Amino acid sequence: MRNPTPSKTEIRGKVHKPLIHDSAIKQVSGEADYIDDISEPKDLLHLYVAQSEKAHADLVELDVTDVKAADGVVAVFTATDVPGINDASPVLGDDPVFAEDIVEYVGQSLFVVAAESIEQARRAAKRAKVVYNEKPAILTVDQAMQAGSFVLPTRQLKRGAPELKREQADRRLSGRLEIGGQDHFYLEGHISLATPREDGDVHIHCSTQHPTEVQHNVAKFLNVPDHSVTVEIRRMGGGFGGKETQGAWFAAMAALVATRTGRPAKLRLDRDDDMIMTGKRHDFVVDYDVSFNTDGVVQAVEFVFASRCGRSADLSAAINDRTIFHADNCYYFEDISIISHRCKTHTVSNTAFRGFGGPQGMVAVERMMDAIAHDLGKDPLEVRKANLYGKNERNVTPYHMTVEDNIAPEIIAELAEKSNYLARRDEIREFNKNSPYLKKGLSLTPVKFGISFTTTFLNQAGALLHVYTDGSVMLNHGGTEMGQGLFVKVAQVVAEELQIDIERVKITATTTDKVPNTSATAASSGSDMNGKAAQAAARTIKERLIEFAAEHFEVAQSAIQFMPNRILIGDKKTLTFAELVQLAYLNRVSLSSTGYYRTPKIHYDAENYSGRPFYYFAYGAAVSEAVVDILTGENKITRVDIIHDTGKSLNPAVDLGQIEGAFIQGMGWLTTEELFFDDKGNLKTHAPSTYKIPACSDRPDIFNMALFENAENVEDSIHKSKAVGEPPFMLAISAFNALTEAVSSVSNYELFPELDAPATPERILKSVRAMQIGVTSDRSAAE
């Protein structure tokens, strides 16, 4: 018999390990199934959605007679065919699936064509007779501000007396910054495959981060109970927030076709249609007005944010709230006012995107920090440090949450040291003096990101665990996999709890008929919440097994110990997990359990922006070095150093992947990805030919990433880890600021450039020219 005494390392085996992503091998070999890879059922109908060609118009006539008569067409549905409510919105009921009497953006869905082939459906759609009565369209933030066009009421957060404090401060400056939007550019576009089931029920494979919301919206749309609709998703080819809400529109159309025709129906948007028809990151115009003393310590600050929400609210309330919650980033502002305008425009409704409004707030405050440093002739890092939250004082956010876990100062210090920040700054200044056409810039920016949904009730999760009699385990939970590694992390938690090998845990598709009423996999809280829920389910089964074994073998419960792949029964007997499970089954012990979790401690008064909206904060910092060719505006981020905090990481390999991907995605947002709408509201950048996401060659040549060592979540999070999905996205602000600094060098650092995001070569060149002729923007002139 084996020695039953476990060694210490044996006990902790499954979590905190760099396990490979469960789909990695299948993804590179092409075996991982995405929805479009599922074998097409016989009788499958292919769907195409006809889109509005006008940004704002009355829909005077919509005649689809000729469409119906076209070759291969089986059915055509418009708003008048909707049996239930013609809406698939997350909150306010303002997102019609099909346009009714008005259209409010170019690309809005008019009707769906179901045909034997996608070509036939597409061709037939062109035969519709659509008569518009065009109306003036509001397209930009500036136009909306002038017209007073808002999708939601303007909000303000105010603390202290910024007006008064401003009077007492030494210096004051103001500036304006435009921050562009961003297309999600997930590799897999929106897609739904709906199959009719008996009793008028429908099953939908939908590429969504929020199967429950799709289910509930489709049920309302079809006028059937929620239980008639099942939504399933094994994995998405990326979501990034873009599949939090709007996938429901296409699921609803596919479900309508399937239930009305009795045939399965697939709706897959191609890239151009996906980019035109679905929402993006909100673009912003930000004004700041800041007063500070000669040390650079901020005395009073006022931000005015205005974002382009598009034609409906979608998630804009929570997104713009998160901008407010992150306009402080890591800094203490005692006297502050933040105004947030939510502009209604005749463009596609903007939606969630990694960081969820937070990045825009943080870009603004980080620009402001640079402006202050420039004004005082100080190193920007010095100014940043002077404004950081304290540990026991200066530690209450503008929304009255105490920052209890502030590790930003340590991370910044360690990073500045490791990246050799100060010496490189001097070297770069020297380099720029002697280099006429290539100019370099360096910037260190930190990140503090609040973890939890700010809508408190969303912070709950469920899981379902079955143990079969051979000891294999089926794991299901409400979280969805979009590449971020959630499934392997939750499987690690279960394997850890039951002390079995991870191969024993079957990872299964997310589906509404296993775990109901779930929240979107969003706000980076997927592993925090589903990990805890799955742990609870595993614990329940483990407790039942312990109780049973104690009784069966007549030993104390404390004598039953779960060791790696075996269970000790006192000091005499050892069973494998499978043996114990088998025995428990024969003795009629239930081997299936649900698990549930709700995030503790959080509470928040939305009216007054006051409370504890976040369970904890995730931190990080990055140093980016940029080089700019001032003859062309061409540029490159040449070196990046990152230290990022994921607490006691559940899976360091997955987390490093998230950090790298998020940084590059953030860099794309702030440097090359430019969305351009013409004056009729047509998106002209709707393909990779015109919309430039980062390529492999854009990755910095030197890219040093490290997890913050000895980190641990002070809260009782899953195995003391921290969320990682969104926070590192904002590390890329350092790249934007490094470019700004390189441009400033053209004026020998005498002028502070006006440079909006994304800092495309065109914008950089314009900014360089302004430096050369000695004009800085009147917008950012110091008082």
Q: Which residues bind ligand MOS (CB under 6 A)?
A: 209, 241, 244, 352-354, 356, 522-523, 726
C-beta closer to ligand MOS: residue 244 or 674: 244
Residue nearest to ligand MOS (CB): 241
DSSP 396: B
What's the rounded Cα separation, in Å, for the pair 366 and 335? Answer: 18
Question: Is 232 one of the annotated active-site residues of the chain?
Answer: no
Q: Should residue 527 be labelled a site residue for ligand MTE when binding is judged by CB under 6 A?
A: yes
What's the rounded Cα separation, in Å, for the pair 378 and 374? Answer: 6
CB of 698 to ligand MOS, least distance (A): 22
C-beta closer to ligand MOS: residue 300 or 324: 324
**DSSP H/E element including 131:** strand 129-134
C-beta closer to ligand MTE: residue 35 or 125: 35
Contact range with ligand MTE by CB under 6 A, out of 175-183, 274-282, 419-427, 520-528: 520-528
DSSP 407: -
CB of 187 to ligand MTE, least distance (A): 9
What's the rounded Cα separation, in Å, for the pair 78 and 329? Answer: 46
DSSP 214: H
C-beta closer to ligand MTE: residue 175 or 237: 237
Q: Which is catalytic among the residues 188, 302, 726, 754?
A: 726
Q: How many CB atoms lie within 10 A of CB 171?
A: 16
**Of 74, 482, 640, 735, which lies in the binding site for ligand MTE, with binding defined by CB under 6 A?**
482
308: helix, coil or strand? strand
When CB distances are held under 5 to 8 angstroms depending on the partner's kind, the choice from ligand MTE, ligand MOS, none that residue 357 binds is none
Long-range CB pairs of 384-388, under 8 A, 24+ apart, other chains included: 384/330, 384/331, 384/412, 384/444, 384/445, 384/446, 385/409, 385/412, 386/295, 386/296, 386/297, 387/296, 387/297, 387/298, 387/331, 387/332, 387/333, 388/330, 388/331, 388/332, 388/412, 388/446
Which residues partner with 113 through β-bridges? 48, 76
Q: Which of residues 655-674 bind ligand MTE (CB under 6 A)?
A: 658, 661
**Of 64, 300, 486, 533, which lies in the binding site for ligand MTE, with binding defined by CB under 6 A?**
486
When CB distances are held under 5 to 8 angstroms depending on the partner's kind, the choice from ligand MTE, ligand MOS, none that residue 482 binds is ligand MTE
> Which of 359, 229, 385 shows the shortest CA–CA distance to 305?
359
Q: Which of residues 210-239 bind ligand MTE (CB under 6 A)?
A: 238-239
When CB distances are held under 5 to 8 angstroms depending on the partner's kind, the choice from ligand MTE, ligand MOS, none that residue 407 binds is none
CB of 721 to ligand MOS, least distance (A): 18
CB of 724 to ligand MOS, least distance (A): 12
What's the rounded Cα separation, in Å, for the pair 513 and 517? Answer: 10
C-beta closer to ligand MOS: residue 244 or 366: 244
**Residue linked to tokens 């097994």:** 545
Q: Should residue 525 be labelled a site residue for ligand MTE when binding is judged by CB under 6 A?
A: yes
CB of 722 to ligand MOS, least distance (A): 15
* Number of residues forming the site for ligand MTE (CB under 6 A): 21
Q: Should residue 484 be labelled a site residue for ligand MTE when binding is judged by CB under 6 A?
A: yes
What's the rounded Cα separation, in Å, for the pair 565 and 223? Answer: 49
Q: How many CB atoms lie within 10 A of CB 227?
A: 12
Within 516-645, where are the H helices? 526-553, 577-586
Q: Should residue 351 be labelled a site residue for ligand MTE when binding is judged by CB under 6 A?
A: no
What's the rounded Cα separation, in Å, for the pair 295 and 608? Answer: 32
Q: Should residue 507 be labelled a site residue for ligand MTE when binding is judged by CB under 6 A?
A: no
When CB distances are held under 5 to 8 angstroms depending on the partner's kind, the choice from ligand MTE, ligand MOS, none that residue 527 binds is ligand MTE
Chain residues binding ligand MTE by CB under 6 A are 238-241, 354, 482-484, 486, 521-527, 658, 661, 723, 725-726
Q: List residues with catalytic annotation.
A: 726
